[in-house]
Amino acid sequence: MGQDFELVDPSDRRLISRGIDCILSQAEGGSVAASLDFADRRRAFDDYCLRNKVDTSRQVLAMQDQRIIGACLWVPTAGRTALFYTPQTAPRDTLTCEAQVQCIRRAAVAAHAADMALAQVILTPDAHAIAELYRLAGFLDLATLLYMRRNRPLFQPAFELPAEFHLATYTPQRRTEFAHSIEASYHQTLDCPSLSGLRPMDDVIIGHQAGGFDPGLWYLLKRNGENVGVLLMAHRLESATLELVYLGLSTSCRRMGLGAQLMKLVLLTAMRVQAATITLAVDRANTPAVHLYRKLRFGQTAQRMVLIHTLQAASCPRTAAKNAI
């Protein structure tokens, strides 16, 4: 990096606020006006930070003549994953591109120093230029996620497992069983397969439990006493939403219709907890799962590109990055 700009970790409130404004629009000096749309986005972001206790000083800014030409905010989340936020409009010249890449790299160093294991960014499908900046900073493409939703059913679905299968809910004593079952379900998975091996399983479970964990909504699927799958749900009371956090089966129990039966349990649970809607996120490349969800009348609400950057080496199985989304 040359001497055309300086990287700054801001501490004063005014500069921190200017950095957030840049992240929500673009580098200072651009053509984005103080429109109502921007004001609404800023208000929503401030509310998000307040609700989630986000430390907005975790920024890296690139400064040139007291003007911000690059910015990156990183937010630690449960399970040692850091979410990255950068300006939503891509730089238009070489200097600001380089400044933005350096901000992302510096933020990754800061997240690593804070014991984060994984960095993640979520982008709209058309943000190709911004995605390229992250790639230059060391991020790799993970997946294109489809976000899906449906209303709770009006009539009770017919849920029934074959006789040799039964379900057990989560208890602290079964934590290890859940961890091993989640790990086994990753073998030959079509859902974000490149996540394998990035974080210890304890981090994975902590990430899954973030935001509305209810042990009564976590199920271990057993076949003649052997653990062969998991179904993890969360009830978001503030939005009257039941979220399918994770559904996974071991290879020996796939293509048996068990996924469809467990999804009927999801629908039944939505009725029981009186959730207005059911939501999930799935890798677009996982075509069997996408087909099942569409068959069950889930409709797509959004699509996002996800890129990740490993900050620390890990010898244990993969993370569940969708939880941080």
* Residues in the chain, overall count: 325
Measured over the CA atoms of residue 132, residue 46, residue 42 and residue 59, the dihedral's sign is negative
Residue 79: give the domain boundaries. 6-138
Domain assignment of residue 98, yes or no:
yes
Burial class (CB in 10 A: 0-12, 13-18, 19+), 118: buried
- pLDDT band (50, 70, 90) for residue 25: confident
Does residue 245 or residue 197 have the better pLDDT? 245
Strand order in the sheet with 165-169: 6-8, 59-64, 67-77, 81-85, 118-123, 299-310, 140-151, 277-283, 241-249, 226-236, 218-223, 165-169
Does residue 1 belong to any structural domain of this protein? no
Q: How confident is the model at residue 1 (pLDDT cuts 50, 70, 90)?
A: very low
Same domain, 219 and 284: yes
Please check whether residues 117 and 177 belong to one and the same domain.
no
Buried b vs exposed e over 196-206: b needs ≥16 C-beta within 10 Å? eebbbbebbbb
- Answer yes or no: do 66 and 206 share one domain: no
Residues 182 and 95 in one domain: no
Tell me what the mean pLDDT of segment 316-323 comes to. 40
Residue 319 counted as domain residue: no
Both 183 and 79 in a single domain?
A: no
pLDDT of residue 35: 58
For residues 35 and 65, state if they share a domain.
yes
Q: Is the pLDDT of residue 31 over 70?
A: no
The answer, yes or no, to whether residue 300 has pLDDT greater than 80, is yes
Other C-beta atoms within 10 Å of 250: how many? 20
> In this predicted structure, what is the pLDDT of residue 189?
85
Q: Are 192 and 243 part of one and the same domain? A: yes
Domain end call among 107, 138, 169 = 138
Mean pLDDT along residues 38-59: 89
- Determine which of 16-20, 37-41, 142-146, 167-171 has the lowest per-residue pLDDT on average: 37-41
pLDDT at 183 over 60: yes
Count of the separate structural domains present in the chain: 2
CA angle 20, 104, 196 (to 5 degrees): 115
Within a domain: 189: yes
Residue 317 has pLDDT above 50, yes or no: no
Predicted model pTM: 0.87
Percentage of the residues of the chain whose pLDDT score is greater than 90: 73
Q: Are 199 and 314 a contacting pair, CB within 8 Å? A: yes
Q: Report the C-alpha gap between 189 and 177 in whole angstroms.
A: 19
Q: Which amino acid is at 189?
A: T
Boundary residue ending a domain (85, 117, 138):
138
Give the CATH number of the domain where residue 109 resides. 3.40.630.30
Tell me whether residue 168 is in a domain. yes
In a domain, 313, yes or no: no
Question: Do 159 and 265 sit in the same domain of this protein?
Answer: yes
Taking the C-alpha atoms of residue 46 and residue 32, their distance in angstroms, rounded to an integer, is: 19
- Looking at the structure, do residues 28 and 157 belong to the same domain, yes or no? no
Asked if the model's pLDDT at residue 320 lies above 90, the reply is no
Q: pLDDT, tens digit, for every residue of 49-62?
A: 898 888 999 999 99
Q: Which of 110-114, 169-173, 252-256, 288-292 is the least confident region?
A: 252-256
pLDDT of residue 30: 53
Question: Is pLDDT larger for residue 220 or for residue 201?
Answer: 220
How high is the pLDDT of residue 91? Answer: 87
Final residue of a domain: which of 112, 138, 164? 138
Percent of the chain scored above 70 by pLDDT?
A: 91
> In the prediction, which pLDDT does 194 show?
75
Tens of pLDDT along 223-237? 998 999 999 999 998
**315 has a pLDDT exceeding 50:** no
163 and 276 together in one domain: yes
Tell me if 180 is assigned to some domain: yes
Q: Give the per-residue pLDDT at 105.
A: 97
pLDDT tens-digit readout, 259-295: 999 999 999 999 999 999 999 999 999 999 999 999 9
User: Is residue 325 a part of any domain in this protein?
Assistant: no
- Cβ atoms 111, 239 nearer than 8 A: no
pLDDT, mean over the chain: 89
Q: Do 262 and 283 sit in the same domain of this protein?
A: yes
Tell me what pLDDT residue 324 has.
37
Using 50, 70 and 90 to split pLDDT, how confident is the model at 3? low
pLDDT of residue 27: 66
What is the maximum span of the chain, computed from C-alpha positions, in angstroms? 72
* pLDDT tens string 92-103: 899 999 999 999
Q: Mark whether 97 and 168 lie in a shared domain.
A: no
